Amino acid sequence: MTPILLLMLTGAAEAQDMPTAKVVMPWQDFKSLYDKGMAPEDKPERAPRDWSINHGTYAGTVTEDGTSALFDVRLSVEIHKAEGWSTVPLAPTSVALKSAKIRGKDAPIYLDGGWYMLITDQKGTVDIDLELAASVFEANGQSSLSFPMARSGGTTVTLDVPSEGDLEFAVGQAQFLKDERVRDVRRMEAILPATGNLAVSWQREIGEEDDPEGEGVQQEGRQYAEVHTLVGVGEGVITGHSDINYTIVHQGTDSLTVTIPADVTLLDVTGSGIREWKVDTVDGIQSVDVELNFEALGAYRLMLDYEKGLAEGGGALDIPRVEVQDVERVKGFVGVAALSTLEVVAGDSSGARKIDVRELPASILGRTDQPVLLGYKFREAGWDVPLTVQQHDEVDVLVTIIDTAESISMITNDGRVMGRSSWYVRNNRRQFLRLDMPEDSEIWSVKVAGKAVKPAIDDEGQVLVPLVRSRASEGSLAAFTVEIVWVEEGTAPDDAGKGTIALDLPQIDVPVTYYRWSVYVPWDAKIAKKSVESSLRQVEWFSTPVTPEGQYLDMAGQAAMQQAYQAQNAAVDSGVSPVDVAMPVEGQALYFEKLLVLDEDLALTLDYKGLKD
C-alpha cells in the first residue's frame, strides 16, 4: 500500500472521532458563517388572512327561453398560508355548480354554510374556473337575476341576452356600465367594486314613442323570491329549514314579510343585518315581519328554522308552507328526508311537481347526511304537498361483533391444559363481554386493547370482561383485541401412557364471523386419527388470516384505545394491577376452524397413547 493511500485511510478513520480538534480560519470567514447561522431578528409576520381573491371575471349567457343564465367564471385566488390546507368560498349554493377546475383538472369541492368551498394545499396564485347556472326571473316585461359572489378585489361581468331590439340594463353598484350589440345578442359589460352581490335586470329600452315628453319613467322597486326548503320527518316532530333567496331590483327595501301556518313553531330567523323580527297571528296564519338595518338591493337571503309536532304513530299531514309576501313572483324546491325509521308516503300534491331528488339544489341536499326521499318543484304560491307518515317497530341489531377469533390450547405430558383465546371485537355500546369458562379452569390473565385488566364474575358464574367502545376508523368502527389466558388441571395419562383429551373453549355471548383453533399435544403422543372429534372442522392449515390488514387498529390506535379504557374503567383498574402472562407453545399441532359461531359450544376430544414417563 502506498504511503499516500495509507495516510488518507488513517485520516479518514481519525476524522470520525476528534473531540479535541481545532479549526483555524480568518475572522471574516468565521463571522460570515456565524451570521448565516443566526436566527433572523425579525420573524416573518403571518398574513392577516389565509387567502384573498384578486379578481373575478363572470361571463354569462341567457338561454333562449329566458329562464336561466349560464356563467363561465374565473377567480384568481392568492393563497397566503405558508403551509397546510386552506378553504376558499367560491359560489353560493343558490346557484347550480356544473364544474370547478384548476388547470383543467377537477378541483376538490365541499359544501359548508351555504357555499361551495374549495379545499387546497397549493400556495401562491391559483386560477379557478367555474361553470354556474342561475335562475332568471321575468315579470311585467322585465327580467332579472341575482346571486351572492365571492368577494374579490375587482369584478368584471359580461352578460349576453338574446334580443332583436335594444335593451336597458341596470346593475347594482356598478362603477362602469355599457351595452352593445354583438351579432344576435345584446351584450352588457359592467365593472363592480368589492361587492358581495351580483344583481342584473334588463328590459326593452324606452324610446321617444314611450316617453314623448322626455320626462323619464320612474321604475318601481320589485322583488322576486326563490325558496329552498328541507323538511325532516322524525319521531314526534317535523323540522324545517327554508332559505329564501330574494332578488330586489330598482329600489331597495328595509322590511321583509313571510307567513307560516299557525301550528308551526318558529325557532329562529337569520340573515344579514337583521335589526329585529316579530311574529303576529292573524286569522290562523303567523306573519313574520323582519326589519333590516339597511336597504337591501340585489341578492338577499333570509333563513327560517321551524318545527311542528307530529302525532304519535304518524298519520296524515301537510308540509309546512312558507309563503313570501310582497313579491312579483315566487318559485322554489322542497326536499323531504326521514330522520328515523318512520315511513314517509307522498300524497297527491297541488301546485308543486314531483321531481327526482337529484334535481334538488345543493342548498337542500347539502344540509343533511340523511337520504332525501322526496323532491318537489313549484312555480307559484299556494302549493300543497300532503304526506302520510307511518311508525314501525324497530328491530334490534348487533351493537357488538367479533370479526375473527383465535384460540391456542397446549397439553402437557401430565395432561394439564393451558389455553389462550383472542377475540377481535368491534363494540358500539356494550359494557361487558360475558364468558362461560371451561369447567374447573383458572384464569391467569385478561387483556383488553393490549392492556391487562381484572374481570368480574356475576351470580350465575359468568366472567365479565369490561369493554371499551371502538374508535371510528375510515367511516366504521375499528376492532380491538380481548385476550384471556387460562389453565386446566386436565386428565393425566394412565400407567400405559394412554389417555383421552377433552377440551372446551370459552363460550361467549357475541357472534363470531370466523374462528380458528390450534391444539398442541406432546411430541411423544400418538394420536388415533379416527378418534378426533370436534365441533370445528379439522384442516391442514387455516383458510383465513386472523387479522386481515387494514381492519384493525395500528399501535397508535391501540395506545389511544388503552387511554380511553383507563378513563372509562378507572374503578376496575384500581388496586393491584394484574399480571400479563405469556403463553409458551410447543408440540405437534392440530388445526380447526369454523365460520359463523353463534352462542355454541366449541369442543374437541381425541385419544392418544405413548406418553409413558
pLDDT tens, residue by residue, 17-71 = 555 667 777 887 777 777 777 656 666 677 788 889 989 999 999 998 888 999 9
Q: Please give the C-alpha separations between residue 430 and each of 262, 400, 449, 483, in angstroms, as whole numbers.
A: 44, 7, 15, 17
Residues composing the chain: 613
C-alpha cell read off for 509 = 355471548
Could you tell me which of 219, 206, 167 has the C-alpha nearest to residue 188? 167
The CATH number linked to 172 is 2.60.40.1730
Which range of residues forms the domain containing residue 239?
A: 222-390
Q: What pLDDT is recorded for position 575?
A: 45
| Statement to judge: residues 585 and 444 lie in one domain | yes
- Is there a single domain that holds both residue 105 and residue 125? yes
* Structural domain contains residue 576: yes
372 and 463 assigned to the same domain: no
Tell me how far CA of residue 328 lies from CA of 144, 222, 324, in angstroms: 12, 7, 10
> Between these two residues, 27 and 186, which has the higher pLDDT value?
186
Residue with more model confidence, 284 or 566: 284
d(CA 73, CA 234): 40
Chain segment 349-395, per-residue pLDDT in tens: 899 999 998 888 888 888 887 888 899 999 888 899 988 887 766 66
pLDDT at position 504, please? 93
Residue 466: inside a domain: yes
- For 455-486, write each residue's pLDDT tens digit: 999 888 899 998 888 776 655 677 889 999 99
C-alpha 520, offset from chain centre: 48
Query: Running DSSP on this structure, what letter comes out for residue 31?
Result: H
In a domain, 558, yes or no: yes
> Max Cα separation, the chain?
131
> What is the Cα–Cα distance from 262 to 194, expressed in whole angstroms?
42
Output the pLDDT for position 564: 45
Same domain, 58 and 171: yes
In three-state secondary structure terms, 558 is helix
Q: Are residues 419 and 288 in the same domain?
A: no
- Residue 105 cell numbers, joined: 383538472
| Residues 6+ positions from 402 with CB-CB distance below 8 Å | 423, 424, 425, 426, 508, 510, 511, 512, 513
Alpha-carbon span 135 to 73, nearest angstrom: 16
Q: State the residue for C-alpha cell 322585465.
A: 142
Same structural domain, 558 and 583 = yes
Is there a single domain that holds both residue 332 and residue 189?
no
Burial of 137 (0-12, 13-18, 19+ CB in 10 A): buried
Render pLDDT for 124-139 as a digit per residue (tens, 0 to 9): 899 999 999 998 888 7
Residues 322 and 457 in one domain: no
CATH of the domain at 243: 2.60.40
In this structure, is residue 460 part of a structural domain? yes
Q: How high is the pLDDT of residue 580?
A: 66
Binning pLDDT at 50, 70 and 90, where does residue 291 land? Answer: very high
461 plus 483 within the same structural domain:
yes
Are 167 and 202 in contact, with CB atoms under 8 Å apart? yes
- The whole-angstrom separation of Cα 262 and Cα 281 is 7
Same domain assignment for residues 283 and 404: no
245-269: pLDDT as tens digits: 998 887 889 999 999 999 899 999 9
Q: Centre a 10 Å sphere on the Cβ of residue 408 and count the other Cβ atoms it contains.
A: 18
Same structural domain, 381 and 421:
no
109 shares its domain with 137: yes
Q: Is 555 domain-assigned?
A: yes
Task: Judge whether 39 lies within some domain.
Answer: no
Q: Which residue carries 371499551 as its cell? A: 468
Phi then psi dihedrals of residue 556, to 5 deg: -65, -40
In the chain, % of residues over pLDDT 70 = 84
Q: Are 94 and 145 in contact (CB under 8 A)?
A: no
Alpha-carbon torsion angle 342, 347, 353, 354, nearest 10 = 40
Closest by Cα among 61, 28, 251, 30 to 145: 61
- Do 375 and 332 touch, CB atoms closer than 8 A? no
Task: DSSP for 317-343, please give it.
Answer: EE----EE-S-SEEEEEEEEEE-SS-E
Indicate if the pLDDT at residue 5 is higher than 80.
no
Given this model, what pLDDT does residue 7 score? 43
Instruction: Please indicate, yes or no, if residue 14 is contained in any of the structural domains.
Output: no
Q: For the chain, what is the domain count?
A: 3
Is position 211 within any domain? Answer: no
